[in-house]
Amino acid sequence: MPTGRVIEAYNDAIDTLAWVLLLMVFELETFVLADEKLRGWVKWSLNAVSAFCYLFIVYSFYGYVAEMSSLTHLLPTAQPVCELAAQGNWSLARGQDDYVPLTGDNCAALADVRLLRLADARVLGEVAVWRETKRLAWTDVINAGAWLLVVAILAFDVRLQLRHQLSGAAMRYSQVVKGLLYFTLLLCAVYWGVNGSVLDFWDAFLWLVAFFFIEMNLFEWQAETSGE
């Protein structure tokens, strides 16, 4: 299987592993470890783990973009749907990441329905299904992109704080930018919830709560050092 397809297929697993490790690194840096401990081999070990996480997070983001890109190349079906079902190896899209085999039993109900197919795969679906799938795929891309920006800014904040260069003004500017990004992430979570994906909403909400505590750790850390 090509690397791109592997990344698309295992987006959730890659995300979970990388984000859990990265969250642990931020917790160690902003709360658990004292400043004097964040040097030498400890510092480089945490940087290595972070780099590993960022690599897979970017790969995962690529997977979401690749999925979105594939949905922009939809073609009309050239044959009656039941003829396609007779060929075998065709799938029917019922939603995002929800596919069933196209068979003689379910093709009859689609005889008078306008169908579109993926350009690079033997998958077809109704226009309304593809429309909603595109919206959800765009939400995935926006969500993943916003998280990338959040962790990039947060990592930069931590680096500045370790050098005692995170001023109050820089902290406020960072909080404003990240606040907008967190609001975007909340909107993505709400969209998933409204569209019936309660599990995705709950998962996104828990990650927001987890990073809220990281932000509080950073705020308290910066306040302590600025008062010294």
pLDDT digits (tens, 9 = 90+) for 155-209: 999 999 998 898 889 999 999 999 999 999 999 999 999 987 889 999 999 999 9
pLDDT at 39: 85
Q: Given pLDDT bands bounded at 50, 70 and 90, which one contains residue 10?
A: low
pLDDT digits (tens, 9 = 90+) for 114-157: 999 999 899 999 999 999 999 999 999 999 999 999 999 999 99
8 A C-beta contact, residue 27 and residue 214: yes
Beta bridge partners of 87: none
pLDDT digits (tens, 9 = 90+) for 74-106: 999 988 999 999 998 999 999 988 999 999 889
pTM above 0.85, yes or no: yes
Alpha carbon 129 to its chain's center:
21
Alpha carbon 227 to its chain's center:
37
> DSSP readout, 129-142?
HHHHHHHHHHHHHH
- Is the model's pLDDT at 9 over the cut of 50? yes
* ∠ Cα 45 47 53 (to 5°): 105
User: SS3 for the chain, per residue?
Assistant: CCHHHHHHHCHHHHHHHHHHHHHHHHHHHHHHCCHHHCCHHHHHHHHHHHHHHHHHHHHHHHHHHHHHHHCCCEEECCCCHHHHHHHCCCEEEEECCEEEECCHHHHHHHCCCCEEEECCCCEEEEHHHHHHHHHHHHHHHHHHHHHHHHHHHHHHHHHHHHCCCCCHHHHHHHHHHHHHHHHHHHHHHHHHHHCCCHHHHHHHHHHHHHHHHHHHHHHHHHHHHHCC
Q: Given pLDDT bands bounded at 50, 70 and 90, which one contains residue 1?
A: very low
